[in-house]
Amino acid sequence: MTSAIPKQPVVLMPGTGSDEVFVRSVFAGPLAALGLELIAPAPPPGAALAEGYLAELDRLARVHGSLVVGGISFGAHVAAEWAVANPGRCEGLVCALPAWNGEPGNAAAAVAARASADLVEARGVEEALRVAAMGSPGWLVAELARAWRRQGAGLVDGLRVAAGRRAPSLVELAGVRVPVGVGACGDDPVHPVSVAREWVGAVRSEGIGETSLVEVGKDREVLGRAALVGFLKACFGR
């Protein structure tokens, strides 16, 4: 697709209920190794989550001229939405763990976000975290505990916005003409590796890198490296 790595700032957004702290832990080191600048916006509050991110991308594009954009899970969806709508301002997509295409429907990540919103609303953040701890790895519960407590009263609305927002369809993704790299975890039932493969297939790319949640638990950067391996494959047409 190209023969060089875009040098624009890389703006990356977190997933549902997550935060910029996790984004930095995943991507700061791997991007620095490539000499690329990371911008990791904090989540806009509550119901402004998606539109706030899109507005921030517009603002940053006015400052920098063009951007490489991406994110994790819902952050990847918003970035791809912006890339589809802004072909002249987007230089690349670096995504990890996309969760669905088009309407969310009963995608596992959407169902989980709706259930989390209901539980937080009915029983509070601490009880919701206790329930999450029953079926999630300890490292993930620790990440959620920090991010959910930080988001406070806006958490429920943010979860519901993410659960209900449409992601770009495969047809829309097929219109993206910049390098697209996607990182996936083969053992993640909430963000199926099949969705990541569909995304790179739609853009006619081999730009996928794979790891596992087990490895992410040991070293957050393995997820960032997986996404950037995919991105480098896409940049150099491999």
Q: In total, how many domains does the chain have?
A: 2
Same domain, 94 and 183: yes
Distances (CA, A) of 90 to 34, 43, 146, 230: 19, 21, 31, 17
Same domain, 53 and 140: no
Asked whether residue 56 is domain-assigned, the answer is yes
pLDDT band at 9 (very low <50, low <70, confident <90, very high): very high
Q: One-letter amino acid identity for 114?
A: R
Q: Structure pTM?
A: 0.96
Same domain, 115 and 217: no
**Mean pLDDT of the region 116-125:** 97
Same domain, 95 and 140: no
Same domain, 81 and 112: no
Same domain, 14 and 95: yes
Q: What is the pLDDT of residue 156?
A: 98
Same domain, 49 and 137: no
Half-sphere exposure of residue 129, counting CA atoms within 13 Å on the CB side?
A: 17
State which residues form the domain around 32.
10-101+167-235
76: pLDDT strictly greater than 70: yes
Same domain, 63 and 16: yes
**% of residues, the chain, pLDDT over 90:** 95
Asked whether residue 1 is domain-assigned, the answer is no
Rounded CA-CA distance 99/126 in Å is 26
Asked whether residue 3 is domain-assigned, the answer is no
Asked whether residue 230 is domain-assigned, the answer is yes
Rounded CA-CA distance 201/67 in Å is 23
DSSP string, 156-210: HHHHHHHHHPPPPPHHHHTT--S-EEEEEETT-SSS-HHHHHHHHHHTT---EEE
What does pLDDT average to over the chain? 96
Same domain, 143 and 226: no
